[in-house]
Structure 1
Amino acid sequence: MPRTDTGARVIPAPPERVYAALVDPDALTAWLPPDGMTGRFDRFDARPGGSYRLILTYADAGSPGKATPDSDVVEARFVDIVPGARVVQAVEFVSDDPAYAGTMTMTWEVTALGTGTHVEIRADDVPDGISAEDHAAGLASSLANLAAYLETDS
């Protein structure tokens, strides 16, 4: 059954800095992996029609990965990029488990709000194998990491 998960946070940084962190591979590897994971890109091309391959590795080797015993591999395509406002990606997990099959659409929206920026993430058509509770925690963790990254990044 298709499911939509969301997360949002106000980040005390200007929208242009927040948006820049959504399309820069070095920034993304610093803040996107949820707590307990690290990430690296095999390739990254941030433009409509461009794509990336992201490997997320669990710090705890006992955590179940979707692609390998300790990692998730994400193949994604940039569907739409509106500079300063929105990034839309079609995301697929590399896995032999049909519970993770299908394309999830991830939409990041950036909106100026007073002296900060409202950041919202919406994940549509989340695969059944991803628990709603774990996904909500992961989205919240990534948003908290983004806020911390922008506080320290000058």
Structure 2
Amino acid sequence: MSTVTETTIEADPNVPVIRMTREFAGTPEQLFRAHTDPQLFAQWVGPSSLVTRIEEWDARPGGSWRFVHTRGDEEYAFRGCFHDVRPDRIVQTFTFEGEPDGVALETLWFDDLGDGRTRLRTQSLVDSFEGRDAWLRSGMETGVNEGYAKLERMLTDGSV
């Protein structure tokens, strides 16, 4: 029996923050690995219609990362720096290179729910309400939900 969950996406009314929550049928260790191993990350992140190419990946405090989503001749690049990388939490910056001034500070938490289940919580702090609202209007929920569905399948089939 599998339980399909959607990601809860919320905009804080008082601070330019986006919070997301989703439960997975996987351990915190598996979720951490899926977020820090570049080969695994490339398999699940983003919309199903895009292919991900990792160009840089150093998942340690002070390390940086860059990946590119492609579809035909289209390319969408993202980059950032890891500030804290530990089994229960990752803190990193996140920038879409098409909007280089829009840097977010992201925190991801891996909450052990027991019985091989984990709640992933994320928080993205951006520099303005306008920037936050632009992210929300961008269709990001499609990429988030499709990516997390791919990750759930990988956890179920033992790829992670």
CA-atom RMSD in angstroms: 2.2
Match of 2:149 among 144, 148, 153: 144
SS in 2 for 1:49: coil
How far 1:140 moved relative to its partner? 2.4
User: Who is 1:47 aligned against?
Assistant: 60
Match of 2:83 among 70, 79, 92: 79
- Whether the 8 Å CA contact 1:6–1:136 is kept in 2: the answer is no
User: Who is 1:101 aligned against?
Assistant: 101
- Whether the 8 Å CA contact 1:81–1:87 is kept in 2: the answer is yes
How far 1:125 moved relative to its partner? 0.7
CA distance in 1, matches of 2:32, 2:101: 29
Q: What letter is aligned with 1:134? A: G
Q: Give aligned-pair identity as a percent.
A: 24
Q: What letter is aligned with 1:93? A: F
How far 1:32 moved relative to its partner? 1.1
How far 1:52 moved relative to its partner? 1.1
Give the TM-score normalised by structure 1: 0.79
Q: What letter is aligned with 1:102? A: G
How far 1:41 moved relative to its partner? 0.9
How far 1:133 moved relative to its partner? 6.2
User: Who is 2:119 aligned against?
Assistant: 118
Using CA pairs below 8 Å that are at least 6 residues apart, which structure has the higher relative contact order? Answer: 1
User: Who is 1:91 aligned against?
Assistant: 94
Gaps of 5+ in 2: 1-14
SS in 2 for 1:75: strand
How far 1:13 moved relative to its partner? 1.3
Q: 1:86-120 CA distances to partner (integer Å, 9 max, x unpaired)?
A: 1111112222x5xx622112222101002111112
Q: 1:60-101 CA distances to partner (integer Å, 9 max, x unpaired)?
A: x5xxxxxxx72211121001112x211111112222x5xx62
Q: What letter is aligned with 1:142? A: G
- Residue range with higher mean Cα deviation, 142-151 or 130-139: 130-139
- Whether the 8 Å CA contact 1:5–1:132 is kept in 2: the answer is no
How many pairs align?
A: 140
CA distance in 1, matches of 2:126, 2:107: 12
- Whether the 8 Å CA contact 1:7–1:140 is kept in 2: the answer is no
User: Which 4+ stretches in 1 moved above 3 angstroms?
Assistant: 126-129
